[in-house]
Amino acid sequence: MKNMISDKIKVIAFDGDDTLWINEPYYQECEKIFCGLLKDYFPVPEVSAELLKTEIQNIELYGYGAKGFMLSMIETAIRISNNTIPGNVIEQIIKLGKQLIEMPIELIDEIEPVLRKLKASYKIILATKGDLLDQQRKLKKSGLTDLFDHIEIMSDKKEADYTELLKRLNIPPECFLMVGNSLKSDILPVLKIGGQAIYIPFHTTWKHEQSSNNPSEGDYIELEKISEIIKCIIKE
């Protein structure tokens, strides 16, 4: 893998969930409780598998985010219970979804000083995927809003989405660097359109975001933590 980023980079974009702030562990805890509510109908692993199937089927309808997740939990509960799920259990699922929406924001270690240092030399963008209200709420709670020159909340992160973003901001791909925790959403699409990427794995990743198609060695930088970005970008 590369050790340094090209001198051509002018714009650095950061993913939000599990790159700037913790997200997936809250979803996993919510799913664990949900599976417990349905254990009388299916074993926990099967409930989990059914929920994932429902989520993937619903992405085109609901997009990504807590509200879509809550609706997918309700739909899954109705289906696997063969329409016999009690109303009070549905009520508990809705409560779980609301708790997920209102989850606290816990920043990844050292993210704020890293953004401040990079902002002195680069244009800094937030390029995150999900429900508009959900992501706006997280960003406001994070206290990081003023550190970004541009905020982009995307419905998806495919090649066409990044191409449209760069076109709208008049950024050549070779001048664009994406930083994120998902190979599928943050790394592969950006490399394919000619941009550069830094991959910072998070300790847990939603199964739908896991990719079996890894970039070739040398195409991107992989770091253990966000603070390591400074050494491979800023020449001191």
Burial degree of 77 (CB within 10 A; 0-12, 13-18, 19+): buried
Contact 8, 51 (CB under 8 A): no
DSSP tag of 107:
B
Convert the pLDDT of each residue in 75-129 to its tens digit: 999 999 999 999 999 999 999 999 999 999 999 999 999 999 999 999 999 999 9
Cα 24 from Cα 15, distance rounded (Å): 13
Convert the pLDDT of each residue in 125-174 to its tens digit: 999 998 899 999 999 999 999 999 999 999 899 999 999 999 999 999 99
Residue 126 structural domain: 11-22+105-233
pLDDT of 217 above 50: no
Q: How many domains does the chain have?
A: 2
Q: Residues 185, 120: one domain?
A: yes
Classified as helix, coil or strand, 101 is helix
Q: Residues 112, 36: one domain?
A: no
Domain end point (choices 78, 101, 124): 101
Q: Residues 79, 117: one domain?
A: no
Q: Residues 82, 190: one domain?
A: no
Tell me if 2 is assigned to some domain: no
Predicted confidence band at 216 (pLDDT cuts at 50, 70, 90)? low
Tell me if 162 is assigned to some domain: yes
Contact 15, 206 (CB under 8 A): no
Q: Residues 219, 197: one domain?
A: yes
Q: What is the CATH number of the domain that holds 140?
A: 3.40.50.1000
Q: Residues 94, 117: one domain?
A: no
Q: Residues 143, 215: one domain?
A: yes
Q: Residues 92, 117: one domain?
A: no
Q: Rounded to 10 degrees, what is the CA torsion of 212, 162, 175, 20?
A: -70
Domain end point (choices 86, 101, 116): 101
Q: Residues 95, 150: one domain?
A: no
Q: Residues 17, 134: one domain?
A: yes
